[in-house]
Amino acid sequence: MTSETASSLWQQTCQENAAFPEFTGEAEADLVVIGGGYTGCAAALQAAEMGATVQLIEAAEIGSGGSGRNVGLVNAGLWLPPEDINAELGADSGNRLSALLGGAPQRVFSLIEKHRIQCEPVHTGTLHCAHAPAGLKDLQRRHAELAAIGAPVELLDRDEAVRRTGSAAVHGALFDPRAGTIQPLAYVRGLARAAAAAGAQLHMHSPAAAIRRDGSSWHVSTPKGSIRAKHLIMATNAYARDITGYETPQVIPVHYFQAATDPLPAALQGKILPGREGCWDTALVMSSWRLDQAGRLVIGGMGALNHFGSALHRNWLPRKLAALYPELKDMPLRSHWHGRIAMTTEHLPKILDLNGGLACFGYSGRGIGPGTLFGAAMAETLLTGDRARLPVPPSRSHAIAFAGLRSAYYETGATLTHLVSNR
């Protein structure tokens, strides 16, 4: 693993093992999957359960990208509210996507139960918290739009939000009972285990070096072998590497960092998030917090921990913790880590048509439910030929102007915010 996750809490507490051999030699398959995150493992599992032969190759380890660095919030829907989605996709496609993603948490928790994935599942909802009185306007809008499409969301006043979170720093919240929390690395490793049990062949430390299309087949080369397959899925998202013969779609890389306390005393666990909902706020530079199975409070915010200004992020964390929960102001934070998010300008996930293959990327911070859904849907689509199974219409190309500058803008904004906030 890289230094980004060397001290990750998820690495330390993962109960799922995912040891797969390096790919060597030659193989043929119905489907080759490149990438061992939520999308790739869900695709491999779905295809194997449909009776297809599957080869999945991962450049590092299962979950070494964003899937193993996630907050672990199994959200329903996207960051965008429904009407914004419809403005981008049109009402028919937008409403369909919102409905599919509204059911994504149930898909995740059903897979966890079916395959007995040891990933600390808590299906008690999430709380989108107003960080200030002005944040209630955004939550009111989201509540109205979600309720209009039948989502069972509830707008909580300040008193109820304070009771649910145990924090006087929140000014209301939007409760979504469809959602929940998981140990994110354990979930993706559990998906990999389930895919292998269904017959898929998975390989770690096997980066795709080159791909090419030859008639009706894909040829994928790795450092020590090659795979020939009828269908291909590219599932590398924010952690794409250079591959000869493949033009990596542009995304805006945005980072998110986290740390965790020691397990809270039992008395505080009864007060702080007593229902174990996962939380995030309405601030422009978002932060999140939740409890894990042992009662550790996991807190995070936008930003990377691998540059000269990252000390500002680390110094902000205890101030934010104390602002939320003054009783935790002296509690040390451990296991600092960060991960990379693939954003698109529209904040919508994209599917690219590769002529016999599909690529998916751009979950914009909502990887667990959408990744699981999109991975399975792409596998179904390629094996059946029914493109109506795709959650969004595929595109032929994707480009973002000044993606690197936009990434720097987000990181600079987060760094400056963490310099001055919660003092």
pLDDT tens digits, one per residue of 370-399:
999 999 999 999 999 999 999 999 998 888
User: Is there a contact between 255 and 411 (Cβ–Cβ < 8 Å)?
Assistant: yes
CA distance 215 to 189: 34
- Closest CA relative to residue 263, chosen from 7, 6, 9: 9
- DSSP codes of every residue in 123-163: -S-EEEE-SSTTHHHHHHHHHHHHHHTT---EEE-HHHHHH
Contact 274, 290 (CB under 8 A): no
Q: pTM for the full model?
A: 0.96
Q: Which residues of the chain fall short of a pLDDT of 70? A: 1-6
For residue 401, what pLDDT is reported?
78
CA torsion, ordered 9, 67, 36, 373, to nearest 10 deg: 140
| Exposed/middle/buried for residue 72 (C-beta within 10 Å: 0-12, 13-18, 19+) | buried
Measuring CA to CA, how many Å separate 219 from each of 57, 228, 382?
13, 5, 16
Is residue 246 classed as helix, strand or coil in its secondary structure? strand
User: Rounded to whole angstroms, how far apart are CA atoms 59 and 287?
Assistant: 30
| Residues 149 and 81: beta-carbon distance below 8 Å | no
Q: What confidence score (pLDDT) does residue 70 get?
A: 95
- pLDDT above 70 covers a percentage of the chain that reads 99
Q: Which domains does the chain have, with CATH numbers?
A: 9-420 (3.50.50.60)
How confident is the model at residue 6, as a pLDDT?
52
pLDDT of 298-341, one tens digit each?
Answer: 999 999 999 988 999 999 999 999 999 999 999 999 999 999 99
Q: How far apart are CA 351 and CA 56, in angstroms?
A: 19
